[in-house]
Structure 1
């Protein structure tokens, strides 16, 4: 009985750790939001990392463009963060970063880098509240 209970507790702790969003820093929250939005495409999970009044329409537009392109070409497109610059001030933060949008082409990968600015607030953990494409 004790072995079974111990195994169940270990499973619960591992499951809880794997499913609980990590919002301890602005950079980690943004990374998890980008992963949920573009890599695993899980709207429910992405929402865990956003403010209730978030203005993320430009991110939604980018995802729509990517999905349309993938449908046309049959080629998967990856989005990754690069060169994060975080400015944190009490319960808000601004992150300027590159979103690298890449697709396999022939013998390599074509990557288009876009400069973005994300606004985050600490509301029981860091959450993405705004996004603006700069270039």
Structure 2
């Protein structure tokens, strides 16, 4: 009987060690997953890049919501642009692709304004059939990380008149 009690204690201790190690492993895995999938809102340009990807490429409403202000009414122009893309794809049987270039901006306290050029191309059967570029300015606010709050298309600069001799 003494031997049986001793083995029970050994098995009990081993079971506790395995349970604690398993729990620690699960906690470590959850923390690692959380860090790997955490949204980076530390830089306005990174947030804008993720917002544009969600809004104009992936059509991901959840992704858009993760990167916008509580009241995103100022982002209606981007919504209209996305609707234009959808309408052109449907009406003309094309694929609309959008890319953006370098982002420039200035940050002052909790406000940031970032400008980028969107290049919009229409493709049919793999060939580019139309292409245009538009300059857009985005307003971001720091609110528990940067959030995109407004967008507006900038007017194209007027061609400069040059005198000919």
Task: Indicate the TM-score class for this superposition, using the shorter chain for normalisation.
Answer: 0.7 to 0.9
* Structure 1 residue aligned with 2:136: 116
Higher helix share: 2
Cα RMSD, aligned residues only:
2.3
Q: Bigger radius of gyration, 1 or 2? A: 2
Normalized per residue, which structure has more strand?
Answer: 1
Q: Which has the higher contact order (CA 8 A, sep 6+)?
A: 1
Aligned to 2:153: 133
| Partner of residue 86 from structure 2, selected from 52, 60, 67 | 67
Q: Does 1:28 align with 2:46?
A: yes
Tell me if 1:104 matches 2:117: no
| 1:89-130 deviations in Å (ceiling 9; x for gaps) | 111100111111122246643431111110001101111011
TM-score w.r.t. structure 2 length? 0.70
Q: CA deviation at 1:6?
A: 4.0
5+ residue gaps, structure 1, are: none
| Match of residue 161 from structure 2 | none
Could you list the runs of 5+ residues in structure 2 that have no partner in the other structure? 1-17, 156-165
